[in-house]
């Protein structure tokens, strides 16, 4: 009987050890439920910019984690998520969409050429795991983040260029958006240090060197501008685990 108990205990220890990888690296889909508020302001008398709202940023991310520390786990994450929004120039009551060429900065080569708003985040998280059952590892935690975003093509941004000096109110359709494209190339990211809280779950089958995971994060702080309202960030992915 003692041998049976010893075997069961040894097997349970082996299964538990194999279920939780001591380290891993993976890639994931990112969805940020935050929203970009609309803005319509005058640039100069008779000329204004109508920047419309957008929500539901989507993108990709990468994560590395270490699980062998007592009581806590550590993970590092880099995410980028983006969405498109519409911006129009209003000249003497005429609204003209501002659209860009395929080689414009931050512009993916798709069928649309609306401006792209994106949020970048680099996180270091400390999590506390709940070892309830083998294979499944839920956890909660918090950490520090660096958040940065692409400039928004609104009235404030256009004022910083010489774009309005090239506008012919009598013939605004001849506008060349290259001026704004060049301004975007030279513009600095808006960003700063913030933090986040995290809750997630990781599943690691025994022996197989793979794991899948799902995280929910909420960010605070940083400096993404008043127009962007941060939402819940979801991460769903998997990767190699030892």
pTM score of the predicted model: 0.81
Measured in Å, how far apart are the chain's first and last C-alpha atoms? 34
Contacts of 66 (CB under 8 A, 6+ apart): 22, 23, 73, 74, 75
Q: Which residues pair with 198 in a beta bridge?
A: 141, 217
How many Å apart are CA 77 and CA 233, to the nearest integer?
A: 12
Phi and psi angles of residue 185, each rounded to the nearest 5 degrees, phi first: -60, -35
Domain of 70, in residue numbers: 2-241
Tell me if 209 sits within 8 A of 240, measured CB to CB.
yes
Report pLDDT digits (tens) over 162-220: 777 777 666 666 566 677 777 777 777 888 999 999 999 999 888 889 999 999 999 99
Instruction: Please list, residue by residue across 11-20, b when 16 or more beta carbons sit within 10 angstroms of its beta carbon and e when fewer do.
Output: eeeeeeeebb
CATH number at residue 232: 2.40.160.20
What are the tens digits of pLDDT across the range 16-66? Answer: 444 455 889 999 999 999 999 999 998 878 788 899 999 999 999 999 999
DSSP 206: S
* Domain count across the chain: 1
């Amino acid at each position: 009987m003692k041998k049976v108990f010893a075997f069961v205990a040894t097997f349970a220890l082996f299964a538990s050890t194999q279920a939780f990888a001591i380290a891993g690296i993976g890639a994931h889909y990112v969805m940020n439920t935050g929203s970009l508020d609309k803005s319509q302001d005058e640039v100069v008398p008779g000329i204004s910019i109508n920047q419309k709202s957008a929500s539901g940023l989507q993108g990709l991310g990468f994560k590395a984690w270490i699980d062998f520390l007592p009581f806590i786990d550590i993970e590092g994450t880099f995410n980028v998520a983006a969405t498109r929004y519409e911006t129009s120039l209003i000249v003497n009551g005429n609204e003209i969409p501002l659209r860009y060429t395929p080689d414009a900065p931050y512009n993916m080569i798709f069928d649309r050429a609306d401006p792209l708003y994106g949020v970048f985040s680099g996180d270091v998280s400390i999590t506390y795991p709940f070892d309830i059952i083998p294979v499944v590892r839920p956890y909660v935690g918090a950490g520090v983040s660096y958040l940065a975003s692409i400039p928004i093509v609104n009235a404030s941004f256009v004022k910083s260029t010489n774009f309005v000096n090239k506008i012919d109110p009598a013939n605004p359709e001849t506008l060349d958006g290259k001026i704004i494209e060049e301004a975007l190339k030279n513009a600095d990211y808006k960003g700063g240090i913030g933090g986040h809280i995290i809750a997630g779950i990781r599943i690691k089958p025994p022996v197989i060197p793979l794991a899948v995971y799902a995280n929910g994060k909420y960010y605070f702080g940083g400096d993404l501008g008043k127009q962007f309202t941060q939402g819940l960030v979801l991460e769903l992915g998997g990767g190699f685990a030892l």
